[in-house]
Amino acid sequence: MRRNFFLTFEGIDGCGKSTQAERLKQALMDRHFSVTHTFEPGGTALGRKLRTILVHDELNMSLFSEVLLFAADRRQDIDEVINPALQRGDVVIGERFADSSVAYQGVAGNVGQERVERLMDIVTSGLVPDLTLLLDIDPRISLARKTDLDRIEQRGTLLDTVRHAFLDMAAKQPERWVVIDAARSVDEVFSDVLEEVLQRLE
């Protein structure tokens, strides 16, 4: 089944994006949808290189440079993966998109929400997800789930700010965003995820 649709998962580190995206991909394929699953940073060869820089290297990178590296990755992912998939008529499942830059570097990182939003509008050529599922969770719960904290995630105190940035964005655009309580079991969260997605696809 072909159905051009772009949905993204957003939420703080360890909220369950990869877990839910993988389950969703499988469930949609079982229902005969053509699905493309992408994630960032790292969905393309360029993205994988950028990811090693963003996550591991001690380059004393400024937050604005960080925004631009994420932006390069995102644009490459759009050109190489997302747009071709949408043109084929796939359902595209993304883990993180422009909203993460706005929340992390714009609001929590003080680059400025409006500035990052303007930059992202240029970087994406105005591509906006049809649906964004916000997996909302207290950072104290999600961080406890993870053991391999990377450079970005070590800024744990910022995650409360990021969480509330996402919630504010969701409240401002209720037609695009759905907030899902991600502090529950994988199955409970997934049941809400699938319901929200199928409601829009069928």
The residues that touch ligand ATP, with contacts defined as CB under 6 A, are 13-19, 145-146, 185-186, 189
Q: Which of Mg ion, ligand ATP, none has residue 129 at its interface (CB below 5 to 8 Å by kind)?
A: none
Q: Which is nearer to Mg ion, 17 or 163 (CB)?
A: 17
Least distance (Å) between residue 67 CB and ligand ATP = 18
Letter for the amino acid at 148?
Answer: D
The SS3 call for residue 92 is strand
Least distance (Å) between residue 113 CB and Mg ion = 24
Least distance (Å) between residue 153 CB and ligand ATP = 7
Binding residues (CB under 5 A) for Mg ion: these are 17-18
Rounded CA-CA distance 28/160 in Å is 32
Rounded CA-CA distance 82/62 in Å is 28
Structure tokens at 119: 């930059």
Q: Which is nearer to ligand ATP, 125 or 191 (CB)?
A: 191
Least distance (Å) between residue 143 CB and ligand ATP = 10
In this structure, what is the dihedral angle of CA atoms 52, 58, 60, 66, given to the nearest 10 degrees?
A: 20
Q: Which is nearer to Mg ion, 13 or 90 (CB)?
A: 13
Structure tokens at 171: 């409240």
Could you tell me which of 117, 161, 113, 152 has the C-alpha nearest to residue 13?
152
Sign of CA dihedral 73, 75, 78, 79: negative
Q: Which of ligand ATP, Mg ion, none has residue 189 at its interface (CB below 5 to 8 Å by kind)?
A: ligand ATP
Least distance (Å) between residue 183 CB and ligand ATP = 8
Q: Which of Mg ion, ligand ATP, none has residue 4 at its interface (CB below 5 to 8 Å by kind)?
A: none
